[in-house]
Every structure is written in structure tokens, then in C-alpha cells.
Chain A
Amino acid sequence: MSTIAIPNETLPRTGIAATLPAPAPLADADRKPLTKKETAADHPTWCPGCGDFSVLALYYKLIEKRKMLHENICTVAGIGCSSRFPYFVQAHGAHFIHGRALAFASGVSLSRPDLHVFVFGGDGDAFSIGGNHFTHTARKNIKLTYVVMDNFVYGLTKKQTSPTSPIGFKSKTDVGGSTDRPVNPMKQAISAGATFVGRATATNLPHLLKLMEAAMDHDGFSFIECLSECIEFFPGAFDAAVPRKGGTFTEIPSEHDVTDEYAAYKLCDAPWPGVFGTFYKVDRATKNANEAKLITDSRAKLAGVPDWQILQRNFDRMK
């Protein structure tokens, strides 16, 4: 007879200051929107002028505007400059490994429908090492919001070619200019089955905020490619989309049918710097909903039966 040497116990909480009183229960309605002061955590380690600051600022704003509560936000990232994001936000967060943030976040989203799960990261993290996860998270339509801060370069590792670097980009790994065809993130997302696909820049703040809000409200996998300049290794990359630098910021015309996949593809081929806004948005059952249904159906005949008895039935069949 085998035994269990380490039994199941009620485990005490650790790292809890004894001096502070435990908070009194508070009705959510009584709680005020979180201010930037309450949402900001560590001061960002980014280079001054890095586009990622704007995305962070808008995330704070989004939390405030939508009256989200600290404890119900979950910010997840992989590795890269942009992926340092969770440290800068006062919310439950995880700084995972390079390229795998979506897989981790899917585990959170699928097991916790009560949370808002946001994932932030870079282009290398998303389309190179994490390419497989990008495809499958989109295909499964897992409910979460994914913002890729696309700077067309590897920032953290100091200027190597990224999967979105344009042909001819001179980097430390392509001193004569890159020759590999870059990924088109919008096409990639639509073909993979993402149900919300949008494009923005870190320089047009009202537009980005609107898009982030729409992404957050979408029931499914929502993806935003946000052009975010790496001032250090690819300065000026997105000037063509910045009016105050002589560029043009072209929004997707309002008559575009966001449920028309082919029309969306067409938009993806607009000449540089492309168009901005919601390319594609459809309603399709999320993995979260499909699994929830599976659970409801499986439990239909088991209402009120304790777990051990469900297991006992299986064991009885093996006698």
C-alpha cells in the first residue's frame, strides 16, 4: 500500500506584512477608478523617447477609463524591451520567457474568466520565436488582448534584424542590409484566425486608445500591431506615418466592412506606411466558451455529485 508522505495542507500565506491591517471587504461599486499614480509601478527602464512609453501611458489611461480593478488585471509578457511592460504596471503580472507569453497567458485566460488578460511584447517575441504560439492562440480564439509593440528591430539585444525589419535594413546581423522578406503582421493574424485585428502607432494616442478599448471589449483573441519606434536602433522608422514629421496617418475608411476577410487582406497591402484602424473583426466562439460548454455538457448528469464520487464511478468500472 502506497502512502502520501507530503499530505495536502492548508498552506499559510507567506510574505504578508503583519503590521498592516488586512483590507476590509469593499464593494466594487464603491471603488474609485484607479489613477495613473495607483497603476504606475517601477519607473520604465526604456530609453528616453522610446515609443513604448506611449503604449504604457495609454494602458494606464485604459485602466482608469474602464474602471478596472487592480486585482482583476493580469499583464503578461515575454522577453524584449517592450516585454518589460509588467514591471511598470501595478497589477498582477508575469514576465515569462521569450516568445511564450501567449501560451502562458492562455493558461491564465482559460482558467480564469474573471480576469482581463493583456499581453504585451515585441515583434521578435511575437513573430519569430513566438510565431507558432501566435498562430495557434489566434486560431483557438483565446480571449485576451495582445499588443505587439513593433519596432522592426531587436531592441533588447541591440539591433539585430527582426522578422518585421524591411528589406535593406542594416543591422548587426545584416550589415549589408536585410534580404529576408518581412512578415506582414496583419495578414499573419487574419490568416491564422484572429477575430480582432487592428493596427496603430504609438504616436497617434487617441487612435491607439480607441483601438485598445475596442480590442478589450472584443470577446475573443484581439490583436493590435502598434508601430512603436526604437529611438536607439531604428530611429525614424515610422516617420512616414507621423504627420508632424511630414508623414500621413491614414485611417481605414469607415465604409470598410470589418467582417470581410478579403477586404481586410486588401488593406494589408496598402503602400507604406499602410493604413490604421480595425482591419478585421468577427464573432466566433472562443476557446473559453467552447471549453465552458464542454464542461456544462459533461456535468449535466453530474449535478450535485461530489468529485470523489465521479472518480469512484470510474474506479468501479475498473474492478
Chain B
Amino acid sequence: MSDNTSTATTNDSSRTSAITESVIRIAGDSQDGIQAIGGFLARLAGRSEQEVMTFMTIPSTISGGPSIFQVRIGSGEVLSAGDEADVLLCFYDHSYANHISSLKRGGIVLYDSDHVTPKEDMLSVYRHVGVAISSLTVEAIGGTGRDKGKNIYALGLIARMFDLNVPKLTKLIEERFGGKDPSIVTNALNCFNGGYGHQIQGLIESFRFEHAEKTGAPQVVMSGNEALAYGIIAAGVRFGAGYPITPWSEIMELLRRELPKYGGMFVQTEDEIAAISMAIGGSYAGRVSVTGSSGPGISLKTEALGWASMAEMPVVVIDVQRGGPSTGMPTNQEQSDLNIACFGGHGDSPRVVLAPSSVEDCFYTAIEAVNIARKFSTPVIILSDQAIATRIEAFPCPDLQNICQDISPDFTPVADHKPYDLTATDGVTRHIAPGTRVASGKYPVATGLEHDELGHPTGSGKLHTQMNAKRRNKLRKLASELPVPKIYGATEGHVLLVGWGSSKGPIEEAVKLGRSQGEAVSGLHIKYINPLPNGLENLFNGFTHVVVCEINDEGLYGHGQLASLLRSRYCDPRIKSVTKTDGLPWKVKDILTRALALTK
């Protein structure tokens, strides 16, 4: 909890501290509904105009296995899920053992005394508060003998501890469990009230979030996967195909469920190759389509992606990165698909790569990806990752009426058509969909063979050179239209921390932390990975060192994937690399310490 707490004495003689933010980690097993508690807290924060960010790990096994959910709620700007927890709620001995070290010194560990035996040597380090959560839950429900619902009981305890808005929480519980068997809502509310009403022994204070002064649009609360899927719908995409794989599956499940409402469809295919092929077929039929995957599924898509590059067919491919190679670490975070996204596949096959930085950004990036795919007739890859996919954030509700797009195909007859016209303005050609009449009677074939301007196969080296240039130059044109990112912090200094994708928040926090310690650090977030926007070198010039922080391996030559790309583009020896592959999001302190150590 932030340091500027003030204490006030309330009537019931317990103390209430005003806090600006707090990090709560909940550790248990996945079947305990750990995510549900986190979800309620995140949603409540969203409804209270507070900033919220969550982080969770779920085991990849079907049921059971340790799981955590961490929520950081703040009245100010929240950039990361937090390095250390203020409160740890743990259900089992293993949760206690594995997560006690994530707690801040002096932090509160709230444990289920039915299952957890605190360690003697920890008692002086952390404030221990034991509640017989399991048995009290059974009691609250009325003795069915099962402790299902202890997550909601624990939510009640937390609500009391943080003086949370009970009417709002009750409403959320009703919304979540309503519609089913009415006894389910009743049980949930009994659990919640039981927890809320419990007199916690040994806890002498409660906390209250300072009122957040946020104005503007009401907030929506969702995960990165949801934001990407809804962004795709808002962009006007109405056809897609995919094959299940964690953590991408959620996106395809949502699209499968939602698209029919918009007159669209999403097909579950036999494999990822079929998925991208079908999506490209959908694009060819007239409207940009979507596919996606994670890990091994992305590898399978590369041949068809090359076809889209060669045939200049738009398509959007979502890559929710996870630990690789091979099956790797399916439920862990990693940023190791940058290379395959930018370069995967044989031959020179230019494509666009975008990496959203937050849940909110996922929504807008999806729309932008569709627009780029259409405008430049090119495949576009969105690089999300496991952390952003599963994280829940609150952000201002987008102005959907103005944002939602119509990208219906144009079937107006044309006089004549050269699908790969080398003289087209900006070098960009767009194919005409079947259904379009061509008066000259000459119809185009979209092709993966090298071709002339009409799409006829050719073995001409001259044409291959010209067409390679055409496919590459249109992305140079795009680069010139891309916004140059802004430096976070001062534009000159000792170290510029560069990141991409979901590392934006932790890097900006590292900048804040560094500055508070007197270090001349700034941050730069790169969202457009391929092509890179023009002018980054001017930003680098203000710094002695440029340190790229990414969650991938340093590789044979000591540089992570983005660092290697930037070094090859700028030939700038100031570009250095900090990498890690422990499967977890960045800790703010680690970024700073390692960057500073590297640039001593």
C-alpha cells in the first residue's frame, strides 16, 4: 500500500487508513474460483472509477493445480500488476509456501487456518491473520458439508478489510450468479455476508481507497483476449477461423459465440493451416478475415502467411504468445515470437507486426490491424501475449457508435483490372473480390507464384525484383504514416529503456522508480514492430545507453529479439539488451537494477 497513509479513528474504535493503492495476491487452487475473486475486485474497481490491473497464473492442467490472481487497485495511474503484494490471501500450505515471499515486509497474510499452518520464522516478518475460511463457509451456507463458495467468503473478508462498496459488490454478485438457480445467488450472498460480517481476530485496522477523481467515460472491465476479440468485431470483421490452443482459444470462443449476432461466422477448423487458409479465403472473398493462434500453431501458419504476402491478400493473424519453442510453457508469458512474426516463413515475405501494450490497446490495435491490412493489402500480425491475454483491466468505454466500422466489400463493376499494377499510386494494389464484373473480360487470379502485373506466373528475374520491391515498398509507405512514439520522461539522459508489447507498464514504472532515485532514465514503447516507424534514431540520440528489455532469450549473440532488430537497423552499439525467460511479467525493480548494472 502506498506510503502516504493517514489514519483516522472511527466510531467502532478500529482504525481506518486512507490508501491510494494496494496489491492483493490470492493464492489457492484453480478450482477454488481464485479468478472469480479477482474478477469481482477488478470489476468493482472499474465501477468505482479506480485504475486496476491484474495478473494471474493458471495451471495448464484441466482441473486443479496451484493458481494465483493478483489485483492492483489504485486511485491513481496503475501501470503494472505490482512487484510485491500488500496482502496475501492463501488457502493452502503450498500457496503459503510459494507466495509468502511475494509479500512486502510487514504485509498482511490472510490465511485459511483450516488448511494453513504458518511458519514460525515468518511470524515476525509478516502480519499473520488466520480465519477458518473453509469451515466458516460451510457454516455460512448452512452446513451442506461443502466449502464451495469459500472464494466468495474470502471476498467478504477482503471487502471488510478494505471497506469496499458493499452495495456495488452485492450487485456484481447478483449479476454474476443471477439467472441460474436462485439458491445459487442466495448461497453466494450468504458466503459474502458471512465473510463481511466476520470479526477478524488480530486485525486492528481497515483501509479505505482515497476517492478517485476520474471523470469522463464510464469504465469497462475486461481481459486482453476479450478486448482483442471485441476490437476485431468493432473493426467490421465478420469471418474468421481458428484451432484451439491456450491462450488463444478464448478469442476464438468469443468470436464463435458473438459473430453470428452480426451476421458473421467463425469456423473451428481441423488445424491451424486450415484456419489461416480459410481466413485468407474469407479475405479473398471480399472482407478482411481473422485467424490466430499461440505457440506451435503460429509455426504452422507461416506457409500460408507467405502466400498472403506474395498474393498481397489482407488477413489479420493474432498471436497470443506463450513460452516456446515447441509446446514450451503454455500458460506462461514470453515475448519470443517477434522473430517469427516479422520474418517467419521462407523467402522475403514482408508483413506488418503490431504489439498492443495494454488491455485497452488490444481493442484499438485490433481495429488498426484491420485498417492496415485493408489499406496496404497485406497480412498483419498482432503480437499479444499470455499476460495481456489473461489480465483484466478497466479502461474508458470506447465510443462505439463512432468507432465501429463497416468494411463491406465493393462489387461495383470495373472496366479492367491489373491486380499487381506496378504503377499504382504509393505502389499499393488491392484485389477485387469475386462477384465483381470486369468489363474487359479479363479476370484476375490471386497467386503465390511470382507473377506479372496481371497475375500471370513468371520466371523473370526482373519481375521478381520489381515485385519484391513492390511488396516491400508499400510497407515503407506505411512506416512513413506511422506515429513516432513519444519518450516517457525526459528526452535526454543516461539510459533509455525500450520495450514492446505488454512490458509498457512495468517499464514506465521503472522509469518513475529510477527518477525518484535520481537516475536519468526514460522509457520508449514500440508498438509498431514491423515496419518500425521512422525517426527512432533521433530519440535514441538523446541517451548514452539504449537498453531494450524483453521477455525472451538473449540468443547466441547476446541480444533479445527486438534488440537484434534495432541493432541491425540502426547499427548503433549503444543498443543493449536485458532479457529473461522465467515465464513471468517484469518486476519493476528488476528492470531498473539490471538496466543500471549494464550501463554502469
Hey, which bits of chain A sit against chain B, CB under 8 A? 1-9, 11-17, 20-23, 25, 38, 41-42, 69-74, 76, 86-87, 89-97, 100, 103-108, 110-112, 114-115, 132-133, 135-136, 287, 291, 294-295, 297-299, 302, 307-312, 314-315, 317-319
Segment 425-466 of B: residues with Cβ below 8 Å from A: 425, 428-430, 432-449, 453, 456-457
CB-contact partner of A2 in B270, B363, B415, B429, under 8 A: B363
C-alpha spacing A297/B261, complex, angstroms? 8
Q: Say if the beta carbon of B386 comes within 8 Å of chain A.
A: no
Q: Which residues of B contact A135 (CB under 8 A)?
A: 270
Hey, which bits of chain B sit against chain A, CB under 8 A? 43, 46-47, 175, 218-222, 226, 230, 233-236, 238-239, 241, 258, 260-265, 267, 269-271, 273-275, 277-287, 289, 303-304, 307, 311, 358, 360-361, 363-365, 367-368, 370-372, 374-375, 396-398, 400-401, 403-407, 410, 412-421, 424-425, 428-430, 432-449, 453, 456-457, 478, 481-483
Q: Which residues of B contact A9 (CB under 8 A)?
A: 371, 375
Q: Which residues of B contact A287 (CB under 8 A)?
A: 267
C-alpha spacing A291/B260, complex, angstroms? 8
A16:B417 contact, CB within 8 angstroms = yes
B434:A307 contact, CB within 8 angstroms = no
B220:A15 contact, CB within 8 angstroms = no
C-alpha spacing A1/B364, complex, angstroms? 10
B263:A319 contact, CB within 8 angstroms = no
Q: Which residues of A contact B437 (CB under 8 A)?
A: 23, 69-71
How near does chain B come to A42, taking the closest CB pair, in angstroms?
A: 6
Taking A6-B375, A17-B416, A295-B264 as known contacts, 6 extra A-B pairs with beta carbons closer than 8 A to each other, sorted by chain A number, are: A11-B374, A15-B421, A87-B447, A97-B303, A110-B239, A295-B263
Closest A residue to B240 by CB, please name it.
Answer: A107
Closest A residue to B418 by CB, please name it.
Answer: A15
Closest A residue to B287 by CB, please name it.
Answer: A111
How near does chain B come to A18, taking the closest CB pair, in angstroms?
A: 8
How near does chain B come to A190, taking the closest CB pair, in angstroms?
A: 18
Closest B residue to A134 by CB, please name it.
Answer: B270
How near does chain B come to A258, taking the closest CB pair, in angstroms?
A: 27
How near does chain B come to A109, taking the closest CB pair, in angstroms?
A: 8
B414:A315 contact, CB within 8 angstroms = no
B220:A100 contact, CB within 8 angstroms = no
> Can you list 11 pairs linking A and B with CB atoms under 8 Å apart?
A2-B358, A21-B415, A70-B438, A71-B434, A95-B448, A96-B277, A96-B448, A100-B273, A112-B435, A133-B270, A315-B397
C-alpha spacing A89/B230, complex, angstroms? 40
How near does chain B come to A159, taking the closest CB pair, in angstroms?
A: 21
Q: Which residues of A contact B430 (CB under 8 A)?
A: 11, 13-14
How near does chain A come to B466, taking the closest CB pair, in angstroms?
A: 15
Most A CB atoms within 10 A — which of B307, B365, B434? B434
B415:A104 contact, CB within 8 angstroms = no
B421:A307 contact, CB within 8 angstroms = no
How near does chain A come to B476, taking the closest CB pair, in angstroms?
A: 15
Q: Which residues of A contact B360 (CB under 8 A)?
A: 1-2
Give 3 closest A-B pairs by Cβ, nearest first: A107-B281, A23-B439, A20-B415
CB-contact partner of A97 in B238, B277, B284, B404, under 8 A: B277
B220:A108 contact, CB within 8 angstroms = no
Known A-B contacts A106-B281, A107-B282, A111-B282; A94 and B447 likewise in contact (beta carbons under 8 Å) = yes
Closest B residue to A98 by CB, please name it.
Answer: B303
C-alpha spacing A4/B402, complex, angstroms? 12
How near does chain B come to A300, taking the closest CB pair, in angstroms?
A: 10
Known A-B contacts A87-B456, A95-B448, A307-B404; A23 and B415 likewise in contact (beta carbons under 8 Å) = yes
Known A-B contacts A20-B439, A299-B260; A94 and B404 likewise in contact (beta carbons under 8 Å) = no
C-alpha spacing A20/B437, complex, angstroms? 14
How near does chain A come to B37, taking the closest CB pair, in angstroms?
A: 18
Most A CB atoms within 10 A — which of B219, B442, B448? B448
A95:B404 contact, CB within 8 angstroms = no
Known A-B contacts A94-B445, A133-B274; A107 and B285 likewise in contact (beta carbons under 8 Å) = yes
C-alpha spacing A100/B241, complex, angstroms? 14
CB-contact partner of A4 in B274, B368, B446, under 8 A: B368
Closest A residue to B363 by CB, please name it.
Answer: A2
Closest A residue to B360 by CB, please name it.
Answer: A2
How near does chain B come to A98, taking the closest CB pair, in angstroms?
A: 8
C-alpha spacing A9/B410, complex, angstroms? 13
CB-contact partner of A103 in B261, B278, B287, under 8 A: B278
C-alpha spacing A74/B436, complex, angstroms? 11
How near does chain B come to A305, taking the closest CB pair, in angstroms?
A: 9
CB-contact partner of B277 in A6, A11, A100, under 8 A: A100
How near does chain A come to B36, taking the closest CB pair, in angstroms?
A: 15
How near does chain B come to A312, taking the closest CB pair, in angstroms?
A: 5
Q: Which residues of B contact A11 (CB under 8 A)?
A: 374-375, 430
B278:A106 contact, CB within 8 angstroms = yes
C-alpha spacing A298/B256, complex, angstroms? 12
B456:A103 contact, CB within 8 angstroms = no
Known A-B contacts A2-B363, A14-B421, A319-B47; A103 and B273 likewise in contact (beta carbons under 8 Å) = yes
A104:B482 contact, CB within 8 angstroms = no
Closest B residue to A4 by CB, please name it.
Answer: B368
Closest A residue to B369 by CB, please name it.
Answer: A6
How near does chain A come to B160, taking the closest CB pair, in angstroms?
A: 25
B442:A90 contact, CB within 8 angstroms = yes
Q: Which residues of B contact A70 (CB under 8 A)?
A: 437-438, 441, 443
A15:B420 contact, CB within 8 angstroms = yes
